[in-house]
Amino acid sequence: MSHLSSALTRRGFISSVVAATAPLMCGSNLGEASVVSNDDLLSDLRRRCYQYFIDAADPVTGLVSDRGMRNGGGFSEHASSASCGFALASYAIAPNAGLENFESARERTRLTLRSLVEIAQHHNGFVYHFIGRSDGGRRMNCEASTVDTALMLAGVICSETTYGDDIEIKSLCRELIGRTNWQSMLGDGNCLHMGWSPEHGLLPYQWDRFSELTILVLMAIGAPNHAIDPSAWNAWKRDRMLNYRGESFLSYPPLFVHQYPMAFFDFRAVRSPSGRSYWKNSVTAHHAQIEFLSRLAERFPEELGHYNEQLWGITSSDSVSGYRDWGGPYEDDRFEPDRGIDGTVVPSASAGGLAVVPEQAIATLQYQHDQFGDQIYGRYGFANAFNPATGWVSRDVIGIDTGISLLMAENLRSGGVWSTFMQHPLPQRAFRLAGFTPV
């Protein structure tokens, strides 16, 4: 029932694949993915996700493939800067999480950091979105990306906190953090550009409204060198505002927007200068999506009837028709065919919410695991996406989605990513300069 997924990745690289013709068999042939308890599942999921960052790292460079086959059968030739960031964060929490011993994880960290400094192609410190796993060179005519570099640097910060007693590792971390010239990406209106390319220079698009931008704006404000003015925190538009059961929240349809910044910056006990809790905003966004999908199931029972509180979660992912930047709810609260919601379930949407809405996230992950077993659950945890109605299952896992699943599972278990990241002076300085205050 498994069919080839898109061979490319996030932000618009789309190819098509052949659809399945039969539904997934609930509860059949569970094999090694047989029914387990919640605690056992999360422990096993963390271990399997971590295995990706061992297997997908080039043995010579340590750069981590953007994606790989979910059965371990192969990896993309291109790495991504964001995948490398999630890998570094994973290596940083590994010893305390019981995933790998300190010395081995430290050496993985050293190798990846060396390559990011010495061979990864960059512009003013901004590493290209996709780079060759073996040589660090730019791939796919991609941009030097601000957000992907921010995610990479979040992992670097975790590396310095855990392994900073090692002189070389500390030096490599400080080189990567210090060389990033955030001011060079600042555009009109005090907003950061999304990237730069040799062909076009600064990309015309800016981070000017709510999205995953919170992590990169804070990183840019807190940077030790080339920092942007703290007023940039207030420069972007606070929209789209939606309403969930009488409570307004900042919305962006794919759930990863509400997860990636939350995996690193500990927003739980701080408020923004305007008094907003971005943590509460994330919680509300997750609840709103669960309700949104349940409404779609009622309106389109044949195609989407399987969505409910036990089976939910959409974020940017593979699909039978290629890579889709989907989610919900949408501003107009309508389902339209061109949005493409076709019944696909994306496990990282709920796994990335483990620390945000633990009860709901654990329930659906347990259900997915127990109902569909090793049809969707393998060497690296859950497949990137699957469709219970058609039987389609992505061939692949994607590094950033595997990474957010691991980091949020560990934050739920121990708060380990938050405590590691927030020990570093950069995020502390970012919160202070941007005007965040304790609750």
Q: Cis bond leading into 329, ω under 30°?
A: yes
Question: What sign does the CA torsion over 134, 138, 140, 146 have?
Answer: positive
Nearest to 196, CA basis, from 22, 60, 247, 187: 187
Q: For residue 352, what are the contacts with CB-CB under 8 A and spacing of at least 6?
A: 255, 256, 259, 260, 263, 315, 401, 404, 405, 408
What does the DSSP 8-state code read for residue 112? H
Beta-carbon count within 10 A of 170 CB: 15
Nearest Cα neighbor of 268 from 254, 257, 286, 283 is 283
Tokens linked to 324 = 């889709």
Query: Rounded to an integer, what distance in angstroms lies between the CA atom of residue 178 and that of residue 120?
Result: 16
Residue spans of the domains in the chain: they are 31-438
Q: What are the C-alpha distances in Å from 328 to residues 177, 208, 256, 269?
A: 34, 20, 11, 26
Q: For 137-152, write each residue's pLDDT tens digit.
A: 999 999 999 999 999 9
Name residues whose C-beta falls within 8 Å of residue 428's C-beta, 6 or more positions apart in sequence: 222, 422
- In what helix (H) or strand (E) does residue 377 lie, and over which residues does it extend? strand 377-378
Q: 31-438 maps to which CATH number?
A: 1.50.10.140
205's torsion region: left (phi>0), alpha (psi -120 to 50) or beta?
beta
Give the start-end residues of each E strand in 245-317: 247-250, 270-271
Q: How far apart are CA 20 and CA 98, in angstroms?
A: 38
For residue 299 the two structure tokens come to: 């309106």
Residues 381 and 52: their CA atoms lie apart, in Å, by: 9
Report the distance separating Cα 266 and Cα 382, nearest Å. Answer: 26
Containing H/E element for 132?
strand 130-132
Task: Dump pLDDT digits (tens) for 85-133.
Answer: 999 999 999 999 999 999 999 999 999 999 999 999 999 999 999 999 9
Instruction: Report the pLDDT value the prediction gives residue 181, as an integer from 0 to 100.
Output: 99
Contact 325, 335 (CB under 8 A): no
Task: Report the first-to-last Cα separation within the chain, whole angstroms.
Answer: 50
User: pLDDT tens, position by position, for the chain (439 residues)?
Assistant: 343 233 223 333 222 232 333 346 554 332 345 556 788 999 999 999 999 999 999 999 999 999 999 999 999 999 999 999 999 999 999 999 999 999 999 999 999 999 999 999 999 999 999 999 999 999 999 999 999 999 999 999 999 999 999 999 999 999 999 999 999 999 999 999 999 999 999 999 999 999 999 999 999 999 999 999 999 999 999 988 999 999 999 999 999 999 999 999 999 999 999 999 999 999 999 999 999 999 999 999 999 999 999 999 999 999 999 999 999 998 765 555 446 799 999 999 999 999 999 999 999 999 999 999 999 999 999 999 999 999 999 999 999 999 999 999 999 999 999 999 999 999 999 999 999 999 9
Q: Strand locations in 175-331, DSSP E?
A: 195-197, 201-202, 241-244, 247-250, 270-271
